[in-house]
Amino acid sequence: MVKLLENQVAIVTGGGSGIGKATALLFAEHGARVAIADLDEKLAAEVVEDIKGIGSDAISICGNLRNPEMPKQVVEATISAFGRLDIIVNNAGYCLDGSLHKMSDEQFQEILDIHLLAPFRVVRAASPYMRDVAKKEIEQGIVHHRKIINVSSGSGVRGNMGQANYSSAKAGVIGFSKVVAKEWGQFNINSNAVAFGFIDTRLTRPKEEGTEINGEVVGIPEKVRNMLINSIPQKRVGSAEEAAASILFLASPLSNYVNGQVLGVNGGSLT
């Protein structure tokens, strides 16, 4: 197998489960060393061990990315462990759904904090190790592409009932990705967003299963879930591995001239 990320270093936020975990493992298979940022220490540690089993290296940095200091800690721990930073995948997040007229300020702000403010802080903290390093490389005639992939959603493209907070945050992620592309493209740093449709994760499994995140039961009522699946042209939910494959594309040399774009990964659903 051709390893697309040989000798590169990646940060994957929310890397302990779901799309983040699948991405971290796929990156490792392609030769990357990976820093896993996650709230759940147990899940993050398990992914680190899985990556080491693949034959690559990984670390975990655990804490709440809504903490203003946490994004900087993630970046600095990565540099301390691996000495460089080539790829950032801003994937961490969750939902706190509710009708617009019943949604509190706190409920709205919390989702903005994790989905939009945290990625901004991670990228800003990475500037000395991506933008500044790239400037020196360019002066020396070195061309090395670095990649930033921000996870958005179809909800951020078209809006979604009951998700004023989530849709707003994910729309913001798209705007943020485009700004980074315009400001940092000259330094061979590509910034793109992935707008996922219905992907099989803890957030999209039947709510009746009773899965909890941060004390909240997450998921989609089975009746609604089935209706959503029937609306997808491919008539199925996407897997976390399929989602990770699209992130790998944007992280790899295959996408060196793809910048400031939104890649819809949704089985043909309109976005």
Measuring CA to CA, how many Å separate 71 from each of 13, 46, 74, 75, 152? 9, 21, 5, 6, 18
Catalytic option among 94, 129, 166, 257 = 166
Respond yes or no: is residue 94 known to be catalytic: no
How crowded is the C-beta side of 209, counted as CA atoms within 13 Å?
Answer: 14
For residue 270, give the nearest of 229, 243, 231 by alpha carbon: 231
Number of neighbouring beta carbons within 10 Å of residue 119 = 29
**Sequence-distant (≥ 6) Cβ neighbours of residue 146 within 8 angstroms:** 85, 86, 87, 130, 134, 187, 188, 189, 190
* Residue 7 · residue 31 · CB < 8 Å: yes
Catalytic sites, residue numbers: 166
